[in-house]
Structure 1
Amino acid sequence: MSAKHVRKAFVAAILAATTFAATPAQAAALCAPHIVQHFDLAKGQTPESIVLSPNGTAYVTFAKARQIAEISPGGRIRILATLPAPADGGAGTPALGFPLTVGIDRAPDGTLYFLYATGTADLTGVWSLRPGGTPRRIAPLPAGSLPNGLALDQHTRTLYVADSTGAVWKVPTTGGATVWASGEELKPTGFLGANGLKLHDGSVWVTNLDQGTILRIPLRANGSAGPVRVAAAGLTGVDDFAFTGRGGEIIAALDTVNEVALVRADGTHEVVLTAADGLQGPTSIAVRGRTVYVPSAAYLTGKDPNLLLAHLGR
């Protein structure tokens, strides 16, 4: 597909988000899925995490390229930063063996916060990038950690980080990091544990890829973590996720099985997108109105990393 056609498809998808009307029979599904952006695998453009600005601009981490990128509503890709490579090439990065940019979130002033995992003490941690600025590390994390999912509490200016070795870190935007939650529910059983992370309804919500679960950890009034509760299970290969805006309903990316699932507030779920819709190992989800953004990094398929858009069916 030419760049011109990609831009036209992207714009059409954004416009469709405001006009699509679902029928009752489509109430439990995502509708009209279609790819609006193809990325270059040879350049390491494997979109790991995504966050949206109010005007529809998307910001993604290209994991293998160690980059932060901006994608305009018209489909133009602009690389905002490339992080320095570790001296050993990232061979010591836990579970993966390569350095990667991971979770990302955005503050109202446009500052981007993101994670970098390298297996080295000099680079692993939480980074920030102000508009027009250069990236800087604001909080180191241990070399043996694997920071993955990230969410910003805008009221307290606190970042929460899912560490796939089995913890959640609490990081003020001014720097410093402490373990906020840990336990068996967050640990891996062979590959990756705590993965995606979101803040919702007074709690920190975390997925565990190996255990196939979505966990809810209450934020107590004093800022400490409450007891971990399994909110949903049976989600094979669950990566990152997003709330739809309809109570506790969630859209989750099931990376290893190449699916996207709708998870209801009672913990039950149904598969709503598959490889037949164009998925290539979905890694994360973003929701804007009734439009659902699904980046695929193609880690396992090895072809066509892309960005897919679909519409909430009710």
Structure 2
Amino acid sequence: MLKKLTKSALSATVVVAAAVTLGPAPASAVSAPLSNARIARHFDLAKGQTPENVVFAPDGSAYVTFAAARQIARLSPDGTTQILATLPAPTDGGVHTPALGFALTSGIVRAPDGTLYFLYATGTADLTGVWRLRPAGTPRRIAALPADGLPNGLALDARSHTLYATDSVRGTVWKVPVSGGTPTAWSTATELASTGFLGANGLKIRGGALWVTNLDRGTVLRIPVLRDGRAGSVRAEVTGLPGIDDFAFTGRGDQLLATLNGSSEVVLVEPHGSPTTVLTAADGLQNPTSIALRGDTAYVLSAAYVTAHDPNLVLAHLNH
């Protein structure tokens, strides 16, 4: 997440519908491992349809958070967009949401039974926290998080029935049971802290560890989950990626693809290696916020927070 938004306009400061399928993509800066990039969907910026995070379902659907609209939406394989829920607006309109000044939905995950868990940040104690949406149900907050923080990335450990959430303002990874309850500050390592704007951001679970991006520091961190469930020592696996938001593992060891929000790029990087740019604005990226892989297809969501032009979904083929 790299954003700054007001209720009436998008700022030019680096910060944090109907579906349309286009024809052939324009000339592209794509290099291995991604090819055949194209804009698959456009979203409505005027309605606050700024996609922040995405998770897949077995039926081919994708569930996204529309941050500025405070919504959870389903992107169907047939090209339709269905709004599943709109969260209640804070009484102050969200102006006291830390760092951003607007209320937003952010990270989202899906449990095997179809339950969606997601994060909502409002700057108010009554709404900020972890929310749950069961199939055909209504959204409900299951865990309160500090109003002076900014819950952002979310990951689900299905084996331990645990949710982990990054807090980009407080530099914290929170731990919450899927049943809800009082959150635990799982890690407050200094490497998670911001240097002035947003720190801990994107979050994935892999190989018995949490992998966390730090937007301000341009890093991807690895934090082992110890046998007793506590956080181990933090190690920086990737550096030199200013404005990094979300990332996805390619399936080749710890190789990953990462979105760079401010520069509108996707980069390929090996741990402790140099990044290679594989998608750019020439491919349609507009401040990309998240990336996920379904088989050999990369889904890259752009929120256009800075460009203020075309929030969209770009698809590209992953070459093995």
- Structure-1 separation of matches of 2:239 and 2:78: 37
Q: Does 1:35 align with 2:39?
A: yes
Q: More relative contact order in 1 or in 2 (CA 8 Å, sep 6+)? A: 2
1:20 corresponds to which residue? none
Q: Which amino acid aligns with 1:52?
A: F
Question: Deviation of residue 224 (structure 1)?
Answer: 0.4
Consecutive unaligned residues in structure 2, runs of 5 or more: 1-16
CA distance in 2, matches of 1:271, 1:288: 21
Q: Residue 179 of structure 2 aligns with which residue? A: 174
* Residues in 2 aligned to 1:199 and 1:245: alpha-carbon distance in whole angstroms: 13
Q: Deviations over 1:250-270 (max 9, x none)?
A: 111100111011111444321
What TM-score results when the alignment is normalised by the length of structure 2? 0.90
Structure 2 counterpart SS, 1:65? coil
* Cα shift at 1:305: 0.1
**Displacement after TM superposition at 1:3 (Å):** 5.8
Question: Helix, strand or coil for the counterpart of 1:226?
Answer: coil
Asked if residue 305 in structure 1 is aligned to residue 314 in structure 2, the reply is no
Query: Which amino acid in structure 1 is aligned with residue 124 of structure 2?
Result: T
Say whether the 8 Å CA contact 2:153–2:166 is kept in structure 1.
yes
The partner residue of 1:228 within 205, 212, 234 is: 234
The answer to whether the 8 Å contact 1:204/1:217 transfers is yes
Match of 2:95 in 1: 91
Equivalent in the alignment of 1:156:
160
Counterpart CA distance in 1 for 2:158 and 2:273 is 27
Answering whether residue 309 of structure 2 is matched by residue 289 of structure 1, we say: no
Q: Which amino acid aligns with 1:301?
A: T
Q: Judge which range, 242-251 or 303-312, deviates more.
A: 242-251
Determine whether 1:214 maps to 2:220.
yes
The alpha-carbon deviation at position 50 of structure 1 amounts to 0.5
Question: Per-residue deviation at 1:144?
Answer: 0.5
CA shift at 1:149, angstroms? 0.2
Aligned partner of 1:129 in structure 2 is: 133
Q: 1:77 is matched by which residue type in structure 2?
A: T
Name the structure where helix makes up a greater proportion of residues: 1
- 2:80 alignment counterpart: 76
Q: Deviations over 1:82-133 (max 9, x none)?
A: 0000001111111000000000000000000000000000000000000000
Paired amino acid for 2:252: R
Question: What is residue 145 of structure 1 aligned with on the other side?
Answer: 149
Of 183, 201, 205, the residue aligned with 2:189 is: 183
- Give the AA of the match of 1:258: S
2: distance between equivalents of 1:268 and 1:177?
36
Task: Pick one of 47, 50, 60 that aligns with 1:46.
Answer: 50
Cα deviation for residue 55 of structure 1 reads 2.4
Q: Is the 8 A contact 2:168 2:198 kept in 1?
A: yes
More displaced, 164-173 or 262-271? 262-271
Contact 1:7 1:76 in 2 (8 A): no
TM-score (norm 1): 0.92
- Contact map agreement 1:247 1:265 (CA 8 A) in 2: no
Q: SS at the partner of 2:59?
A: coil
User: Does structure 2 retain, via aligned residues, the 8 Å contact 1:7–1:74?
Assistant: no
State how far apart, in whole Å, the 2-side matches of 1:85 and 1:3 are. Answer: 24
After superposition, the C-alpha distances for 1:33-81 in whole angstroms (9 at most, x for unaligned) are 1000000000000000001112221000000000000001121100000
The C-alpha deviation readout for 1:180-201, integer Å capped at 9, x for no partner, is 0012210111110000000011
Letter of the structure 2 residue corresponding to residue 146 of structure 1: L
* 8 Å CA contact 1:204, 1:219 repeated in 2: yes
Aligned partner of 1:291: which letter?
Answer: T
Amino acid at match of 2:129: G
- What is the alpha-carbon root mean square deviation over aligned residues? 1.8
- Deviation string for 1:231-273 (max 9, x for gaps)? 0001120001111122111111100111011111444321110
Residue 170 of structure 1 aligns with an amino acid whose one-letter code is K
Residue of structure 1 aligned with 2:106, choices 77, 102, 107 = 102
| Whole-Å separation in 1 of the counterparts to 2:56 and 2:22 | 19
The answer to whether the aligner puts 1:120 opposite 2:121 as a matched pair is no
* Equivalent position amino acid for 1:243 in 2: F
Q: Does 1:204 align with 2:210?
A: yes
Cα distance per residue 1:158-199 (max 9 Å; x no partner): 000010020100010111201000122101111100000000
Identity %: 65
Tell me the alpha carbon deviations over residues 12-44 of structure 1, each in whole angstroms, 9 at most, x when there is no partner.
99xxxxxxxxxxxx9833101100000000000
The residue aligned with 1:19 is none
Task: State the AA in 2 paired with 1:42.
Answer: A
Q: Is the 8 A contact 2:31 2:277 kept in 1?
A: no
Counterpart AA for 2:55 = V
SS at match of 2:262: helix
